[in-house]
A and B are shown apart, each in its own frame.
Chain A
Amino acid sequence: MRLAMLLVAGALAGWLYDQALLGAFLAALACLGWQLFNLFRLDAWLHTGRLEAFPDGSGVWPPVFARIEYMREKARRRRRRWRQLLRELRVSAGAFPDGGVLLNARFEIVNCNTAAERLLSLKKLRDRGQRIDNLLRHPDFVAYVSAGDFSRSVELPAPAGGDTWISCFMIPYGLEQRLLLVRDITGTVRLERTRRDFVANASHELRTPLTVIAGYLDALADDPGAPDAWQAPLAEMRSQSVRMTHLLDDLLELSRLESAAPCGLDQVVDIGAMLQRARSEALALPEHPRVVEATIGSTAGLFGNQVELHSVVSNLVSNAVRYTPSEGSISISWNVDATGGHLAVADTGIGIADEDIPRVTERFFRTDRGRLRQAAGTGLGLAIVKHCLRRHDGELEIHSSPGKGSTFICHFPPHRVALT
């Protein structure tokens, strides 16, 4: 409308000088110049973004300017909201007591929170792009990362030294991204150590008075002048003191096993001979199942500690004897295949209920049913077996059905098997 009027005005002015077309052309040119000028102003304003430079203009321009300004304001507000949200997130991540490190597909650090910086001695800005296992060089952690099995966590001393222990857990998320969770477990480790020390010390301290008591009981029982009425209580007291000695020995053994590192690979133990011996020991017991058979499927031995492996075998066999009636049978076997060595003790005894199987290796764990008091051992046998196996990189597998019998299988990895 305005353009048309301008053109007509130009044409009229030109017509006065007999140049109507030229006039219209000049008017159009001026109009174009005006528009270009406004466009230029818009561009400059968008560049600086200053509010006071907000151009007013005329014609079609003010609404355009206003709309752009409106959109920009909205975007600004949204950005502010995002920034606020991000800041809150970052602050809450920083307040998180556990460390978190974001890693990319190549295990390079993308970001981490304050706790992670503290626990792993990282510097967020400096260490971005560093591979995590280059900075956290503990062999256990490196093995954890390269194995790629993130279903479990790994515990290691904090890189800054001192007595701090951390537990690391890798959580894969998104596309090839990982979150490394780091937790300070110094307290737990220390508590565990205190518990272990306490059990060891207490058992050790209890042993001396017990020896004295047992000595006097022996002397009293052998004394011909003792009244007959004392004989039964004396016998009971003696058997209980023997039991208590066994208990303390087992507790001490257990705490030693717990604190010790994995066994070396320098000694070879002949498993076949050990099983044969365990069989004859079982048959020599006053009450034993009718059939005890040993199947030695391999002449291979195991790298490890003779005494500990013997306690594995003897604990498993004596358990089997204890819970198997005399008409039942026990079979002991030793086999080696590509997955390693397998030592199995199977019986046809009372068996274990399914829900109890995960718990039988706990200390002093007792199943409720089918327990005769005289059958009771110290309650530490399977715990000792478990820890001995751990020291030999082995695992205990238990199959059982109540009333039918149980099978205990010890699996040893191939590097423990000494082929002959």
Chain B
Amino acid sequence: METEKFSHHISRRFNEELEHVRSEVLRMGGMVQQHLDVAIQAIVAADSELGLRIAAEDHRVNRMEVAIDEECTRILATRSPTAADLRLVIAVIKTITDLERIGDEAQKIATLASRLTVDAHADDEHRQVQVMAGQVQEMLRNALDAFSRVDAEDALAVVEGDRLVDEQYDMIARRCITLMMEDPRSIRRFLDVTWVARALERIGDHAKNISEYVIYLVHGKDIRHVGIDAVKEKIGLG
């Protein structure tokens, strides 16, 4: 569908450039997704080696961000895009920043995993982190799918889904605080768990941001910091 949307250019080369930058973003997204998967697996399977490996791989994501950024700057400078094309370039520039941050958070989780696994695991809060991780993974996947399909409705669903992740985070944080008060010796461990949950929550926020850029890309409306109902009204949904 995007080929229809961006295909009115006289210069086919320009089209290809835009398509290329779009698939580069998704490639970077795929990499970040994999890093997140492995980081979460490191926590679930209590595998410290896995965690350390991802921590060492984050630089590849960073390199991609710089490369895509440069490409966008070049497009802006040489092609002076307008309307939908301009929105695409802007959405791309913003999306890669969020993707890079997600990569950083995944790296953080991986580092924490290598420390958490030293202790015994498979407690209740462990399972809760796992549930939350599943939600966040799905959010990120749906956000990138929405970007790929240029689908504002799917993107909106992701934005709405962020609330659940936030609730889950509050729940884990509350639990950890209770457990810490019960047994002060476990504070260090539960702090780590809280940090993992916090990182997951941040990833959820970044996924939400990416979805907002998709809505901006489709409708040309900035929906940041607006209530969900106002958003629906703004883009004529629901």
Do A and B come together as binding partners? Answer: yes
> A residues bordering B, Cβ < 8 Å?
108, 121, 126-127, 129-131, 133-135, 137-139, 141-142, 157, 159, 161, 260-261, 264-266
* In the complex, the 7 A-B pairs of residues with the closest C-beta atoms, listed nearest first: A137-B30, A134-B148, A134-B26, A139-B31, A142-B27, A139-B34, A139-B30
| Other A-B pairs, 7, CB within 8 Å; known A134-B22, A161-B141, A264-B53 | A133-B27, A135-B145, A135-B149, A137-B30, A137-B33, A138-B30, A161-B137
Q: How many residues of B are in contact with the other chain, CB < 8 A?
A: 27
Cβ distance A109 to chain B, nearest Cβ, rounded Å? 11
| Interface residue B66 (Cβ < 8 Å from any Cβ of A) | no
Q: Give the interface SS of chain B, mostly helix, strand, loop or mixed.
A: helix
Task: Supply 27 A–B pairs (Cβ within 8 Å), ascending by A.
Answer: A108-B3, A121-B145, A126-B149, A126-B151, A127-B149, A129-B1, A129-B2, A129-B3, A130-B149, A134-B22, A135-B145, A135-B149, A137-B27, A137-B29, A137-B144, A138-B30, A138-B33, A139-B30, A139-B31, A141-B30, A142-B30, A157-B37, A161-B141, A261-B50, A261-B53, A264-B56, A266-B56
B56 surroundings in chain A (CB, below 8 A) = 264-266
8 Å CB contacts to A: which residues of B185-220?
A: none
Known A137-B144, A161-B141; contact A131-B23, beta-carbon cutoff 8 A: yes
Which B residues lie within 8 Å of A139 (CB)? 27, 30-31, 34
Q: Judge whether A138 and B34 touch: CB under 8 Å.
A: yes
**Could you say which residues of chain A place their CB within 8 Å of the CB of B50?**
261
A159 contacts B149, C-beta separation under 8 Å = no
B75-88 vs A, CB cutoff 8 Å, 1 = contact: the mask equals 00000000000000
Which B141-178 residues have a C-beta within 8 angstroms of A?
141, 144-145, 148-149, 151
B17 at the interface (CB under 8 A from A): no
Question: CB distance B23 to A133 under 8 Å?
Answer: yes
Q: Which residues of B sit under 8 angstroms from A121, Cβ to Cβ?
A: 145
Set of chain B residues within 8 Å of A131, measured between Cβ atoms: 23
Name which of B37, B50, B52, B148 has the most chain A CB atoms within 10 A of its CB: B148
Whether A261 touches B49, Cβ cut-off 8 Å, given contacts A131-B23, A138-B34, A139-B31, is yes
Which residues of B have CB within 8 Å of A133?
A: 23, 26-27
A161 touches B26 (CB 8 A): no
Q: How far is the CB of B156 from chain A (nearest CB, A)?
A: 16
A149 and B3 alpha carbons, distance in the complex (Å): 27
Residues of B within 8 A of A (CB): 1-3, 22-23, 26-27, 29-31, 33-34, 37, 49-50, 52-53, 56, 134, 137-138, 141, 144-145, 148-149, 151
Alpha-carbon gap, A261 to B53, bound state (A): 9
Closest A residue, CB atoms, query B31: A139
Q: A161 and B31: CB pair below 8 A? A: no
Assembly CA distance A134 to B56 (angstroms): 25
Taking CB atoms, residues of chain B closer than 8 Å to A127 are 149
Which residues of A lie under 8 Å from residue B2 when comparing CB positions? Answer: 129
A156 and chain B: residue at smallest CB distance: B34
Taking the closest CB of chain A, its distance from the CB of B168, in whole angstroms, is 17
In the assembly, what is the distance between CA of A129 and CA of B151, in Å?
14
Nearest Cβ distance between residue A187 and chain B, in whole angstroms? 20
Determine the distance from Cα of A133 to Cα of B53 in the docked complex, in whole angstroms: 25
- Shortest distance in angstroms between B5's beta carbon and chain A's nearest beta carbon? 11
Contacts of B151 in A (CB 8 A): 126
CB distance from A161 to the nearest CB of B (A): 6
Q: Which residues of A contact B37 (CB under 8 A)?
A: 157
- Is the pair A161, B134 in contact by a Cβ cutoff of 8 Å? yes
Minimum CB–CB distance from B42 to chain A (whole Å) comes to 11
- Provide the residues of chain A in CB contact with B34, threshold 8 Å: 138-139
Q: A130: which B residues are within 8 A, CB to CB?
A: 1, 148-149
The residue in chain B whose Cβ has the minimal distance to the Cβ of A141 is: B30
Listed residue (B29, B52, B138, B141) with the most chain A CB atoms within 10 angstroms of its CB? B141
Enumerate chain B residues within 8 angstroms of A261, measured Cβ to Cβ.
49-50, 53
CA A157 – CA B141 in complex, angstroms?
13
Contacts of A137 in B (CB 8 A): 26-27, 29-30, 33, 144
**Minimum C-beta distance from A123 to chain B (A):** 9
- B134/A135 in contact, CB under 8 A: no
Q: Shortest Cβ distance from A156 into chain B, in angstroms?
A: 9
State in angstroms the CA–CA spacing of A396 and B206 once bound together: 44
Give A133 to B33 CA distance when docked, in angstroms.
Answer: 14
Nearest A-chain residue to B54, judged by Cβ:
A261
B4 → chain A closest CB, angstroms: 8
Chain A residues near B145 (CB-CB < 8 A):
121, 135
Closest residue of chain B to A266 (Cβ to Cβ) is B56
Query: Considering the chains assembled together, what is the distance between the CA atoms of A133 and B1 in angstroms?
Result: 15
Cα(A127)–Cα(B154), bound, Å: 13
B22 contacts across to A, CB distance below 8 A: 134
**Is the CB–CB distance between A260 and B49 below 8 Å?**
yes
**Bound Cα distance A264, B52 (Å):** 9
CA distance A161 to B41 in the complex (A): 12
Task: Tell me the complex Cα distance, A121–B154, Å.
Answer: 14
Distance in angstroms from B215 CB to nearest chain A CB is 17
CA distance A157 to B41 in the complex (A): 12
Q: Are A159 and B141 in touch, CB under 8 angstroms?
A: yes
**With the chains together, A95 CA to B1 CA distance in Å?**
28
| Complex alpha-carbon distance, A126 and B152, angstroms | 13
Which residue from chain B places its CB closest to the CB of A259 in the assembled complex? B47
* Complex Cα spacing A135 to B134, Å: 19
